[in-house]
């Protein structure tokens, strides 16, 4: 409906222009008008990818890119309570951005959508060393370790965690799921990850399949 399109386009503009306060207010307005939070999240992802394109085309500098990310985070925090706890416990996930990488917009969206689908998510934040992923996963008896990487130079960190899991005899016991713009299924296969997902919606399907596999094999 026109009303929904109008408010979502205002939200997108706030992200593209890097205005966190406006983004927050527009998200509140979208909720008040009854727009489905999942539809709002999709609009947010699209707007952020436009910011990425502007940066790649050198129309935007780092500051604009940063402010765009701040606006997405502000909008995401407004949506989070409305999405949380819709379902029961679907599984336990340790999530983080790998070492040397501070990008967290995509990871945070993945967290929101996983939580909305009944997963318990422990977010370790950014710049997370492989040993920390491993320690936390053991400590909390996690089903899955989810790792995000947006930099080609930090992608190799994921393989370190997967190797560390294997060395600890936990391969197949704690499963791994990877994502981030520079990744691909081929890369995930190469490093031995149990799953790869292109976006937040796919991440939910992949996580559900992994939990089923883990519990189905009696782990």
Cross-sheet strand order for the sheet of 144-148: 119-123, 91-97, 144-148, 175-179, 195-196
Please state at what angle helix 130-139 crosses helix 156-167, rounded to 10 degrees. Answer: 40
Q: Give the span between the Cα atoms of 123 and 142, in whole angstroms.
A: 12
Q: Which two tokens stand for residue 15?
A: 């992200």
Looking at 27-35, 75-83, 98-106, 115-123, which segment touches ligand B12 (CB under 6 A)? 98-106
Looking at 14-22, 23-31, 107-115, 161-169, which segment touches ligand B12 (CB under 6 A)? 107-115
Q: Give the span between the Cα atoms of 20 and 158, in whole angstroms.
A: 31
Query: Residue 23, interface with ligand B12 (CB under 6 A)?
Result: no
Looking at 24-32, 47-55, 79-87, 158-166, which segment touches ligand B12 (CB under 6 A)? 47-55
Query: Residue 124, interface with ligand B12 (CB under 6 A)?
Result: no
Q: What residues contact 167, with CB distance under 8 A and at least 6 apart?
A: none
Query: Residue 106, interface with ligand B12 (CB under 6 A)?
Result: yes
Residue number, 35 or 41, with CB nearest to ligand B12: 41
Residue number, 1 or 38, with CB nearest to ligand B12: 38
Min CB(3)–ligand B12 separation in Å: 25
Query: Residue 151, interface with ligand B12 (CB under 6 A)?
Result: yes
Min CB(64)–ligand B12 separation in Å: 9
Residue number, 147 or 174, with CB nearest to ligand B12: 147
Min CB(103)–ligand B12 separation in Å: 4
Pairing of strands 195-196, 91-97: unpaired
Residue number, 33 or 156, with CB nearest to ligand B12: 156
DSSP H helical segments within the chain, as ranges? Answer: 2-16, 20-32, 37-56, 62-83, 105-116, 130-139, 156-167, 185-191, 200-216
Query: Residue 102, interface with ligand B12 (CB under 6 A)?
Result: yes
Sites for ligand B12 among residues 183-212 (CB under 6 A): 197, 199-200, 203
Query: Residue 174, interface with ligand B12 (CB under 6 A)?
Result: no
Q: What is the CA radius of gyration of the chain?
A: 18
Closest CA to 147 of 126, 173, 168, 117: 126
């Amino acid at each position: 409906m026109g009303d929904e399109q109008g408010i979502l386009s205002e939200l997108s503009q706030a992200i593209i222009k890097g205005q966190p306060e406006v983004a927050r207010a527009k998200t509140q307005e979208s909720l008040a008008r009854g727009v489905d939070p999942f539809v709002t999240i999709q609009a947010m992802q699209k707007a952020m990818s436009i910011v990425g394109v502007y940066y790649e085309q050198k129309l935007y500098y780092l500051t604009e890119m940063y402010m765009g990310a701040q606006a997405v985070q502000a909008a995401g925090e407004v949506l989070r309570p409305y999405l949380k706890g819709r379902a029961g416990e679907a599984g336990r996930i340790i999530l983080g951005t790998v070492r040397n990488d501070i990008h967290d917009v995509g990871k945070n969206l993945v967290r929101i959508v996983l939580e909305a689908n009944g997963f318990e998510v422990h977010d370790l934040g950014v710049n997370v060393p492989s040993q920390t992923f491993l320690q936390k996963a053991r400590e909390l008896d996690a089903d899955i370790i989810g790792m995000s990487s947006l930099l080609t130079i930090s992608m190799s960190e994921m393989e370190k965690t997967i190797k560390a899991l294997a060395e600890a005899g936990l391969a197949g016991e704690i499963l791994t799921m990877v994502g981030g713009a520079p990744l691909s299924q081929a890369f995930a296969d190469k490093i031995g990850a149990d799953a790869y997902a292109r976006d937040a919606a796919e991440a939910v399907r992949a996580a559900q399949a992994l939990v089923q596999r883990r519990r189905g094999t009696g782990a």
